[in-house]
Structure 1
Amino acid sequence: MIDFGGNSIIYGILAAIYPAFQLIGDPLLGKWSDRIGKKKVLLVSNIGTFIGWIIFLVALLVPVWSIHNIDSQVAGSFVITLPLIILFLARGIDGITGGNISVANAYLAYVATDKDRSKNFGKMAISSNLGFIIGPVLAGILGATIYKEILPVMAAVIVSLITVIVIIFKLQESRTIEASSIVKAIPDEPEIRKVFSVECKDCFEIPNPKNLRIQHVFKLRNISYMPILYFLIFLGFNIYYTSFPIHAVSGLKWSMLEMGVFYSVLSGLMVLVEGPILREVLKKCSEKKLVIIGSLILGTNFVLFVFNSTLVAYVAIILFAFGNGLMWPSFMSLLTKQGGNVYQGVIQGVVSSMGSLASIIGLRFTIQLDWHNYLHHFRCGNICSNHSII
């Protein structure tokens, strides 16, 4: 990507394109999954991901045609090129159809029982962390060849195609919502209301899932505060994941190899905590307690990252693994229990869009931090090469 003409600001905007479009697409895909079935929406979403990676591959193969040169005091100097425009298009298409995680969560909530819900979300988190372990290693090996970025992107295209094939032939469709199931989303009222043969009627209508608007999610019983919590959790994660690499390079003086080892160790610890450790802890603690305990551990972990010590950083990721591994599957389990089977798609879509909003804010924080760093080096007459181009 170093020849595409962009600088660090453009790179940050490009990174924010995916969550920005996801912010729009996730609630719509979630709502449609409740109406027409989650398998169909998962298929559409993953086809969009496949097309997005195809366009991404095209961007790497087309000649670098300069369209316009820009020299701005705000955004710096960069060149708008044809591959850069195609990359923005690819990330936009992938983002607008990128509701596969939220719809997959809704599907898992639909097929899971209350007894094994947290364990199932723990298994999904383990799969994600294994992807974070295998993905960078595979990309690093493929990217080290003479073909550079082309092979990793081709691998992403193949993986996306395999995912589409698996959904078509292996995934069973979830049942669509029936009108008779609407009442199941509302808890039964106490029978004491019928004392003396007088029954009070609630002054509200239960929204039909097929006509449910996104704003209704914030009015559903026991759900209204969950998207806010989801946003705050993701905001903390995104600020950490986007700002820690800067701290590691400037404060801890780590190399790329040390950074890769660090994140591999973190992912391995997460797999351990979200697997056997979580299963044992769930036998003794409720999900609500685990959300609180995990959040406190996470808060302690983030405080430790302010120290410029490699030893303290590794102590912090142990706390990170335990805090997130106990908190996140328990939180997702509580969210799906409160939503029931009726509104899972739209609820997951809305909370996922809140996560996308947190991602945009976290990326903007990093862009601003990186830009201040750029200005500092500029004033000192020592501009780093990685701040001038992608």
Structure 2
Amino acid sequence: MPGTEVKSISIYPLLLVNFIGTMGLSLVLPFLIFLVERFGGNALIYGIISSMYPFFQLIGSPLLGRWSDIYGRKKVLFLSQAGTLLSWIIFFIALFVPAVALADVNSGILGSFVITVPLLLIFLARGFDGLTGGNVSVSNAYIADITEDKDRSKNFGKMSVSTNLGFIVGPALAGILSVTIYGEALPVLAAILISLAGTILIALYVPESLRCGLQAQTDINAEKPSSGPEKPGGCPDISAVKKQKFRDVMDLEHIPYMFLIYFLIFLGFNTFYTAFPVHAANDLQWTIAELGFFFSFLSIMLVIVEGPLLSYVSKRYSDTFLIISGSIVLGSNFVLLSFGNTYLTYAAAVLFAVGNGFMWPSIQSMLSKLAGKENQGLVQGVSGSFVSIASILGLIGGGFIYELLGSGAFIVSAIIIFIVSLLSLRLPSFDLPRNISEETTINEQEH
């Protein structure tokens, strides 16, 4: 049977690749705000630099997702990882370029900052990584290829666990490496080596997840015409896939609504992601090591929630219940952050882990079910575009809002996530394939 081979593909090589990629990124996150300020930037510039990745991902993600439907997931994953490797090399070069001032800005609205050559190179590095950064959407499509509906929340949870394990090891390693005589150069060099390892792993150990390769589909097309999008043996019609346009995704039932939820979640997240490092450095007076320790603590909590805890609750509650309840808890975390107290900040981290750990894998599971088999790459790619738009607005807006409101920026994030909670109340009405979680919930209600 055509599906048998797919089901036999192990998820663990992809999880290892994801862990390596996340660890490489998180090596740089704890000191990026300090690096930006040293090269002349401020919170606004930090937000703009952070937004370069999603801005160019807006262009690259749908294209790479579509290519993965046509040419296979493995090739596109390799291309994406190779782009990440090159971007870290450019970033590394920026550390050794003289900080020549190109523009000096002193504004009551924008704040005071200086544009220097190293900042421009960092802009370039993050932008190039974003252009080839379809790895998340393609990885999600890969998981959908090899996973049955009843296991999707659990496997997307495993993907999140591998991400958060990377965020545990990366910041901790950054804190150790950054205090050496080599400063920030050693963590960035480590990110280069880690990205190289990820590229090699994809080439050697990640198998293709699509049931039919391009050549096999071409052979089928030549033998027998078909009026539908799927060929004999369960293979998508490659000519039909090639004719699909990005706007066709918006005609799929319930998909635009899911994209709206995606957009709002990342708008709230990225407002927080820009404001929090600046808040930690300026208001909480944390050092690089303290910031790295916090991110590691947060990631440990996420691993606990998205691993054993999510595996337990996903068997008893539906995706929609976990999305609604998780978003309420997540919004409450941002309210706690606004008080600017270290103890409350760590309490907020626990709520963040529970809320995000329940909500996010469940949303990914719902989207993959609604997308259907033949549209996984394209739908995941276009969802990446909505993520990119939200990230651009959130990252730049987060820096701007923090300059105006300080820790009040977290209240803005809370409001956005609470809106997600309200919108999620409609999700139970969506017609989804029934999985074991939903059946268990129904049985519990009946008894």
State the alpha-carbon separation in 1 of the partners of residues 398 and 118 from structure 2: 24
Higher share in helix: 2
Q: Deviations over 1:348-369 (max 9, x none)?
A: 1111121121111111222213
Deviates more, 1:214-223 or 1:92-101: 214-223
User: Paired residue for 1:171?
Assistant: 206
Question: CA 1:295 to 1:184, structure 2 compared with 1: closer, same or farther past 3 Å?
Answer: farther
- Unaligned stretches of 5+ in structure 2? 1-34, 232-238, 407-447
- Aligned to 2:388, the other structure's residue is in SS state helix
User: Paired residue for 1:296?
Assistant: 328
Bigger RCO of structures 1 and 2 (CA < 8 A, at least 6 apart) = 1
- Give 1:248 shift: 4.6
Identical amino acids, percent of aligned pairs: 52
User: Paired residue for 1:70?
Assistant: 104
Contact 1:22 1:353 survives alignment (8 Å) = yes
- Give 1:296 shift: 2.1
Partner of residue 273 from structure 1, selected from 301, 305, 323: 305
Larger Rg: 1
Confirm whether residue 138 of structure 1 aligns to residue 170 of structure 2. no
Contact 2:90 2:122 survives alignment (8 Å) = yes
- Aligned to 1:283, the other structure's residue is in SS state coil
User: Paired residue for 2:357?
Assistant: 325
User: Paired residue for 1:217?
Assistant: 249
- Give 1:80 shift: 4.0
Deviates more, 1:347-356 or 1:77-86: 77-86
State the alpha-carbon separation in 1 of the partners of residues 227 and 187 from structure 2: 45
Partner of residue 52 from structure 1, selected from 87, 105, 121: 87
Contact 1:182 1:342 survives alignment (8 Å) = no
Partner of residue 104 from structure 1, selected from 128, 133, 139: 139
Please list, as runs of the form range in 1=range in 2, the aligned pairs for 1:115-264 lying within 5 A after superposition. Answer: 115-175=150-210, 176=213, 183=229, 208-248=240-280, 254=286, 256-264=288-296
Contact 2:275 2:402 survives alignment (8 Å) = no
State the alpha-carbon separation in 1 of the partners of residues 189 and 205 from structure 2: 24
Contact 1:218 1:225 survives alignment (8 Å) = no
Structure 1 ranges of 4+ moved more than 6 A: none
Code of the aligned partner of 2:104: I
User: Paired residue for 2:344?
Assistant: 312
Code of the aligned partner of 2:324: I
- Aligned to 1:115, the other structure's residue is in SS state helix
State the alpha-carbon separation in 2 of the partners of residues 250 and 56 from structure 1: 25
- Aligned to 1:172, the other structure's residue is in SS state coil
State the alpha-carbon separation in 2 of the partners of residues 246 and 169 from structure 1: 40
User: Paired residue for 2:39?
Assistant: 4
User: Paired residue for 2:436?
Assistant: none
User: Paired residue for 2:397?
Assistant: 365
Confirm whether residue 21 of structure 1 aligns to residue 53 of structure 2. no
Contact 2:47 2:274 survives alignment (8 Å) = no
Contact 1:17 1:88 survives alignment (8 Å) = yes
User: Paired residue for 2:73?
Assistant: 38
- Give 1:8 shift: 3.9
Please list, as runs of the form range in 1=range in 2, the aligned pairs for 1:84-99 lying within 5 A after superposition. Answer: 84-99=119-134
State the alpha-carbon separation in 1 of the partners of residues 287 and 183 from structure 2: 20
- Aligned to 1:146, the other structure's residue is in SS state coil
- Aligned to 1:351, the other structure's residue is in SS state helix
Q: Deviations over 1:174-221 (max 9, x none)?
A: 335757695569xxxxxxxxxxxxxxxxxxxxx932221111111112
Question: CA 1:12 to 1:174, structure 2 compared with 1: closer, same or farther past 3 Å?
Answer: same
- Give 1:293 shift: 1.8
TM-score w.r.t. structure 2 length? 0.72
State the alpha-carbon separation in 1 of the partners of residues 275 and 397 from structure 2: 8
- Give 1:277 shift: 0.9
How many equivalent pairs are there? 352
Over the aligned positions, Cα root-mean-square deviation in angstroms equals 2.6
